[in-house]
Amino acid sequence: MQQDALTFAIRPNASPMPEADRLKAFENLGFGTLFSDHMAVIRWSADKGWHSAEVTARAPFPLDPAAAVLHYAQEIFEGMKAYRAADGRAVLFRPEENARRFNESARRMAMPELPEALFLEAVEQLVRADAKWIPAAEGSSLYLRPFMFASEAFLGVRPSKEYIFCVIASPVGPYFKGGAKPVSIWVSEHYTRAAAGGTGAAKCGGNYAGSLVAQAAAYEHGCDQVVFLDAAEHRWLEELGGMNVFIVMADGSLVTPPLGGTILPGITRKSLIALAKDLGYTVREERYAFEDWKADVASGKAKEAFACGTAAVVAAIGKVKSPDGEFVINAGETGPVTAKLRDTLVGIQRGQTNDAHGWLKVLEGV
């Protein structure tokens, strides 16, 4: 049972945050701590399919203690941003890619697919309702979090017969506290993130739950993020807890680990591959061993490295630490290729650079 179009009931929040409070909060935006006035919700049940679409005041969900998500973690999500472009337009960046990936995650987690048109409509309706929550300052945006979870109350291992799809919005500043400063990463030689046949390519909460202890180890070693190696050989670079990774070589080529089931197919990753090619770089989606990275940095063959994802966009990697020691990349500074790619992508997202690929979706009248 699939419905491509539902009418959203629009129920404005009766007590939205006062304008002065919102503007005050905008002066010091962090990441993911402040939320807008509304949420978009669509429900699914085995007998009715998708139904009850609405935009309503952001509020807690009443959840039965036996709700399947609380026991079996049947949950997926997306992360995307609405930007206030330089000329005042409200834009989304490649939202249809998020809609498609959401359904790939849904299939892997035995959840119902949400028609892409409905996913996009829910996101757009929420941004319309909360248009004043899109911050305009450089480096800020309205982070959108579509997600779906199993809400049926039962104990027993099988796919749920009820789900709630929801979109919430959070005005955000830079993802890392240090702003645009390069990040340091800890190489997790013990914990892995995903194995062949597992859920590594799905954007599901469970992947994150499993990564937290490795992320905690990164903090303990004074690093900002953890980078995972492959589960079979503990040798090949995979990705960070929530970001893909690229290495910039001295010969002007870029290397990034290939997709293949254990890596999340990032939309930022895909976009940067296209932009790098536009700019004349060769991009190789190839396995790259951690020991080669170490040797290539020492010999000067590898010049820069960066992590990328919607939340942090592009973050240079300045230092890599593992139980055997550490090495510094590009003297701990953001390198020229990383900066060029970041500026090109951010320029497109903010409507300052020609959007040659047609990646922006302009929200008319928002």
Ligand X SMILES: *Cc1c(COP(=O)(O)O)cnc(C)c1O
| Residues in touch with ligand X (CB under 6 A) | 79, 203, 239, 242-244, 264, 266-269, 309-310
Name the minimum Å distance from CB 158 to ligand X.
26
CA dihedral (268, 274, 280, 285) positive or negative: positive
Name the minimum Å distance from CB 268 to ligand X.
3
Contact 248, 221 (CB under 8 A): no
Both structure tokens of 231: 């589960």
Choice between 67 and 229, CB closer to ligand X: 229
Name the minimum Å distance from CB 164 to ligand X.
20
What is the largest distance, in Å, between two alpha-carbon atoms of the chain?
A: 62
Name the minimum Å distance from CB 208 to ligand X.
7
Choice between 302 and 307, CB closer to ligand X: 307
Choice between 330 and 349, CB closer to ligand X: 349
CB-based burial of residue 35 (10 Å sphere; 0-12 exposed, 13-18 middle, 19+ buried)? middle
Choice between 170 and 296, CB closer to ligand X: 170
Length of the chain: 366
Choice between 234 and 270, CB closer to ligand X: 270
Per the DSSP assignment, residues forming a β-bridge with 54 are: 9, 41
Q: Which helix or strand (DSSP H or E) is residue 56 part of?
A: strand 49-57
Distance (Å, whole) CA 288 – CA 310: 23
Name the minimum Å distance from CB 142 to ligand X.
15
What residue has token string 């829910």?
A: 122
